[in-house]
Amino acid sequence: MNRQEMIDRINAALPIAKAVPSEVFDPSMEGAIWLRGSELCDDQGMVFDCYSENEYHPAIRDLIEGGYGWLPEPYDAGTLILYPEVF
C-alpha cells in the first residue's frame, strides 16, 4: 500500500493519530509516516505508549499487522514513525 493510502487508512480508523508524511516531522526523513498524535488517547488507549505491554492502540496494531507493508519504529518514547517494509 502506498504512503498516502496508508495515511488515509490510519486517519479513517483512528483520527487522533493524525498521520502525516514524515517530512512534516523532519524534512530529511523521506518516505515514512509520522503519527503526530502518538501521545493522544481515547477510551481504548494511547496511540503509542512505549511503557505499556500493549504498545500500540488496537486500531494501529490492526493496521501494522494487517499486511499493508508498513512497520512501526519508535523515534523516541513519545513519537511513532511507520516505515515501508523492505523486502
CA–CA gap between residue 17 and residue 12 (Å, rounded): 10
Does the pLDDT value for residue 86 go beyond 90?
no
Tell me: the pLDDT tens digits for 51-66?
Answer: 999 899 999 999 999 9
Question: What are phi and psi for residue 45, nearest 5 degrees?
Answer: 125, -175
C-alpha cell of residue 1: 500500500
Asked if 80 and 47 touch (Cβ cutoff 8 Å), the reply is yes
Q: Are strands 45-46 and 33-35 parallel, antiparallel or unpaired?
A: unpaired
Question: E strand or H helix at 6, and its extent?
Answer: helix 3-13
Cell of 81: 514513525
pLDDT per position as a tens digit, 42-53:
999 999 999 999
